[in-house]
Structure 1
Amino acid sequence: MPATIHESAYVDEGAIIGEGSRVWHFSHVMGGASIGRNCVLGQNVMVGPGVSVGDNCKIQNNVSLYKGVELEDGVFCGPSCVFTNVVNPRAFLEKKEEFRTTLVRSGASIGANATIVCGVTIGRYALIGAGAVVTRDVPDYALMLGVPARQVGWVNKAGDTVAERQPDE
């Protein structure tokens, strides 16, 4: 099944979009970006050059994935969540050489309006609460809430809170 691209979306030459993926209204996938199979990119999503999105990811409305962001398979990005790419930006200074890689591991979920500061890794099946600000690495299966985000518990693969960290598969 080929990808579905809405007529208002832009997909630049050199972008790769996997089978069964859907790119909705006013979204832009830049050249050099790679979107896996069976992904959904909601309204007004921007995927920058060099960004890698795995299979079965859901990226909700108004999310920008800048160069340096990598999403493994099965990642959920809630509406208007934010990824940064420079730790200390300045409008009057060029800092493209300071872009940091942000890795979101398989099965992780990021809530609406959460902010992910560049250079961190979010562990497998971790759950980032709505509005949280992640400033450091997140363990697998961790439940993170607050500003700055702090671990308040554990979740299982289904996203339900549990008493202890789940065993690795």
Structure 2
Amino acid sequence: MEYFAHSTAVIDRGAYIGKNTRIWHFSHVSSKVRIGKKCNIGQSVFIDNNTTIGNYCKIQNNVNIYEGVVLEDFVFCGPSMTFTNVKIPRARYPRERGGCYYLKTLVKEGASIGAHVTIVCGVTIGKNALIGSGAVVTKDVPNHAIIVGNPGKQIGWACECGKRLYKTEDVFHCSDCEKKYKENTVGLEELK
């Protein structure tokens, strides 16, 4: 094994786990899961079948990642946040696994999702987006957007480093790392 799993973690046969990933107490990784290298999976995390987790992701305690979720590299999932995969759940009318009811969710590289956030399925969270604690995300989030509230609303833009950006004329600036961005159809794009 090239990864670490605590003795109380359950790793189902068939799961792929990358080198130097750590999986902590009471977490469960299902069989049809792919986890990249150098990830940290906290305590009591559930990772369902048919999910993909990129490299260098940090998944804090009590997170649920259900079927159809894809996390790209460097994604942060805060404590007790959750993803959904069915928009109309009914106990009397169970949705078939892998059927048309399960909607895909994509979280792009570098996005951060705060504690106790709910991501309603079928959305894309843009690159380096920042979702504030307790938010409920019901629609696509642009690259570098800062989202808060229920339902989630955009209140600004975040740098790749996480600092809130300020605007002069039509350019967004970071006061910490001095990166600059310009707005486009999918959010912000760094100026090189």
Q: TM-score range by the shorter chain?
A: over 0.9
Corresponding residue for 2:45? 45
- Structure 2 unaligned blocks of 5 or more: 173-180, 183-188
Aligned equivalent of 1:124, options 120, 127, 133: 127
TM-score by length of 2: 0.86
Tell me the SS of whatever aligns to 1:161: coil
Report the Cα distance in structure 2 between the residues aligned to 1:116 and 1:89, rounded to whole angstroms. 15
Alpha-carbon shift at residue 88 of structure 1 (Å): 1.1
Report the Cα distance in structure 2 between the residues aligned to 1:7 and 1:137, rounded to whole angstroms. 38
Q: Deviations over 1:128-160 (max 9, x none)?
A: 000000000000000000000000000000111
TM-score by length of 1: 0.97
Aligned equivalent of 1:162, options 150, 165, 169: 165
Alpha-carbon shift at residue 163 of structure 1 (Å): 2.0
Corresponding residue for 1:11? 11
Tell me the SS of whatever aligns to 2:37: coil
Greater Cα radius of gyration, structure 1 or 2: 2
Aligned positions of 1:1-169 closer than 5 A: 2-96=2-96, 97=99, 98-164=101-167, 166-167=181-182, 168-169=189-190
RMSD: 1.2
Amino acid at match of 1:102: T
- List, as ranges, runs of 4+ consecutive aligned residues in structure 1 with deviation greater than 6 Å: none
Aligned length: 169
Report the Cα distance in structure 2 between the residues aligned to 1:5 and 1:82, rounded to whole angstroms. 22
Q: Which protein has greater RCO, CA pairs closer than 8 Å, 6+ apart?
A: 1
Report the Cα distance in structure 2 between the residues aligned to 1:102 and 1:57, rounded to whole angstroms. 16
Report the Cα distance in structure 2 between the residues aligned to 1:9 and 1:72, rounded to whole angstroms. 23
Report the Cα distance in structure 2 between the residues aligned to 1:67 and 1:59, rounded to whole angstroms. 16
Amino acid at match of 1:131: G
Report the Cα distance in structure 2 between the residues aligned to 1:144 and 1:93, rounded to whole angstroms. 33
- Structure 1 unaligned blocks of 5 or more: none
Report the Cα distance in structure 2 between the residues aligned to 1:158 and 1:112, rounded to whole angstroms. 19
Tell me the SS of whatever aligns to 1:103: strand
